């Protein structure tokens, strides 16, 4: 091999990004602990408060009946990647005690959530923060909103937020088999609580907790570390700071008396992000979209059973399809308008969000 060929290979290796996380294997499922008694709270707190400063991140999500100031919190899932453990805290059973029982260092779950020692990652923190503050007077702090990381990392439009399912599918943080299993798990859980398909949110308060809901809750936090790593790798200092500022704005807004937990406007990103400073516009993120694919494709929704411009049919929205690459991207864009649990295909555009 000539010296010029060796030099070419070396230059190619330097351009490779070895920091980008690879698809996760199914064998990495961590230990799951249901925290539903007082004596299980202290061991959980000992794990949380003993995290090393270099890896003091946890990933949090919550489930509940109308999860907001107007409803209740049933479960809180806390994933600790450093020790491969997921704690599912039974808030419905323990009530305020879940946040008040101290460990030997006088730390409580409330102090952990409100403190700055541990970085808490949420996917769309707004309603979670609203419920914690309104129901338990907890002002969560030191938060990273993974949904905002995704939005900031895009090279294209930053107008519409993306849901968790779309992020996992888009970034391929799972193997093909793992992605199929994750989707099935989400579907089984959704059947139990989604009123539109015969379920009820009250199922989150059924004890013993159905295994399908345990698996559902695990799926909401298990792949957040991989997504967070991917998005963080793409951001420059400007956009990292923008995510921090917008996350703080979300937390502050969720504590306002006039905060609205539901509404179609929640699908939109920060308006000012659509027009970043010119000096940051092209240097903000590293593109992962092929050059032969359009970066944005508008969608049109029509009622089922009618054509564009028609007036017959019901209110069930159907995405207008086309052929080729544009069709695939249109389907992908339809997943953008969603909450963290499902792809928004237009069917729930009646104010459910």
* Range name among 82-91, 132-141, 160-169 with the lowest pLDDT average: 160-169
Residues 154/160/164/168 CA torsion (nearest 10 deg):
-40
Beta-bridged to residue 145, according to DSSP, are 122
Q: Quote the pTM value.
A: 0.76
The pLDDT of residue 306: 52
On the question of pLDDT at 343 being above 50, the answer is: no
Q: Say yes or no to pLDDT of 63 above 90.
A: yes
For residue 316, report the phi and psi dihedrals to the nearest 5 degrees: -75, 115
Hey, what domains does the chain have and what are their CATH numbers?
26-274 (3.30.420.10)
Confidence of residue 274 (pLDDT cuts 50, 70, 90): confident
Residue with tokens 């555009």: 349
pLDDT bin (cut points 50, 70, 90) of residue 53 is confident
How far is 288 from 182, CA to CA, in rounded Å?
Answer: 23
Torsions phi, psi for 177 (to 5 deg): -65, -40
Q: What is the pLDDT of residue 172?
A: 85
pLDDT in tens, 296-325: 333 444 444 555 444 444 433 333 333 444
At residue 284, the pLDDT reads: 52
- Contact (Cβ atoms closer than 8 angstroms) between residue 173 and residue 226: yes
User: Of 255, 248, 265, 232, whose CA–CA distance to 159 is shortest?
Assistant: 265
Strand duo 143-145 + 301-303: pairing? unpaired
- The residue among 101 and 301 whose pLDDT is bigger is 101
Confidence of residue 23 (pLDDT cuts 50, 70, 90): low
Least confident range from 100-104, 168-172, 212-216, 277-281: namely 277-281
How sure is the predictor about 54, in pLDDT bands with cuts at 50, 70 and 90?
confident
Tell me the angle at which helices 237-254 and 146-153 cross, rounded to the nearest 10 degrees.
140
Q: Give dist(CA 244, CA 253) in Å, integer.
A: 14
Mean local confidence (pLDDT), 147-173: 92
Q: Which pLDDT score is estimated for 325?
A: 41
Angle at 38 between CA 32 and CA 43, to 5 degrees: 50
What is the rounded end-to-end Cα distance, in angstroms, of the chain?
61
Report the range of poorest mean pLDDT among 18-27, 105-114, 178-187: 18-27
Q: For 123-157, what is each residue's pLDDT tens digit? A: 999 999 999 999 999 999 999 999 999 999 998 88
């Amino acid at each position: 091999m000539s010296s010029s060929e060796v030099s070419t290979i070396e230059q190619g290796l330097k351009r490779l990004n070895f920091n980008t996380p690879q698809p996760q294997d199914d064998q990495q499922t961590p230990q799951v602990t249901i925290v539903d008694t007082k004596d299980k709270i202290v061991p959980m707190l000992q794990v949380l408060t003993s995290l090393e400063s270099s890896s003091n991140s946890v990933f949090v999500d919550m489930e509940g009946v109308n999860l907001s100031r107007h409803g209740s919190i049933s479960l809180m899932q806390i994933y600790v990647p450093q020790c491969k453990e997921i704690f599912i805290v039974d808030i419905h059973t323990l009530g305020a005690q879940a946040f008040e029982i101290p460990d030997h260092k006088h730390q409580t779950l409330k102090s952990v959530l409100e403190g700055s020692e541990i970085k808490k990652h949420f996917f769309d923190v707004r309603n979670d923060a609203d419920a914690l503050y309104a129901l338990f007077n907890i002002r969560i702090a030191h938060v990273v909103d993974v949904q905002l990381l995704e939005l900031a990392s895009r090279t294209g439009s930053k107008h519409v937020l993306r849901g968790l399912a779309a992020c996992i599918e888009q970034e391929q943080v799972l193997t093909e088999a793992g992605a199929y299993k994750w989707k099935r798990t989400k579907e089984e859980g959704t059947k139990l609580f989604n009123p539109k398909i015969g379920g009820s949110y009250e199922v989150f308060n059924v004890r013993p907790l159905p295994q399908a809901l345990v698996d559902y809750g695990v799926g909401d936090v298990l792949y957040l570390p991989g997504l967070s790593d991917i998005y963080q790798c793409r951001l420059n200092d400007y956009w990292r700071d923008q995510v921090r500022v917008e996350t703080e704005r979300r937390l502050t807004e969720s504590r306002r008396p006039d905060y609205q937990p539901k509404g179609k406007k929640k699908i939109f990103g920060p308006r000012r992000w659509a027009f970043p400073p010119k000096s940051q516009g092209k240097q903000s993120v590293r593109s992962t979209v092929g050059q032969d694919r359009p970066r944005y494709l508008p969608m049109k929704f029509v009622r089922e059973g009618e054509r564009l411009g028609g007036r017959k049919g019901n209110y069930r929205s159907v995405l207008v399809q086309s052929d080729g690459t544009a069709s695939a991207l249109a389907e992908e864009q339809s997943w953008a308008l969603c909450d963290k649990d499902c792809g928004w295909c237009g069917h729930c555009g009646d104010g459910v969000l």
